[in-house]
Amino acid sequence: SQKIEQNSEALNIQEGKTATLTCNYTNYSPAYLQWYRQDPGRGPVFLLLIRENEKEKRKERLKVTFDTTLKQSLFHITASQPADSATYLCALVGDKIIFGKGTRLHILP
Partner 1 sequence: KAGVTQTPRYLIKTRGQQVTLSCSPISGHRSVSWYQQTPGQGLQFLFEYFSETQRNKGNFPGRFSGRQFSNSRSEMNVSTLELGDSALYLCASSLAGPLYNEQFFGPGTRLTVL
Alpha-carbon distance of 44 to 41, in angstroms, equals: 10
Interface with partner 1 (CB under 8 A), residue from 3, 26, 45, 52 = 45
Interface with partner 1 (CB under 8 A), residue from 15, 28, 32, 104 = 32
Q: x/- binding map, residues 82-101, to partner 1, per CB under 8 A?
A: -------x-x-xxxxxxxxx
Listed as own residue / partner, the contacts of 24-27 with beta carbons closer than 8 Å and 24 or more positions apart are 24/70, 24/71, 24/72, 25/71, 25/72, 25/92, 26/2, 26/71, 27/1, 27/2, 27/3
Site size for partner 1 (CB under 8 A): 21
Q: Which is nearer to partner 1, 50 or 80 (CB)?
A: 50
* Span 2-31, contacts to partner 1 by CB under 8 A: 31
Task: Give yes or no for a contact between 98 and 34, defined as CB atoms under 8 angstroms apart.
Answer: no
| Segment interacting with partner 1 (CB under 8 A) among 10-18, 42-50, 69-77, 78-86 | 42-50
Alpha-carbon distance of 108 to 39, in angstroms, equals: 16
59 binds partner 1 (CB under 8 A): no
Footprint of partner 1 (CB under 8 A):
31-32, 41-46, 49, 89, 91, 93-102
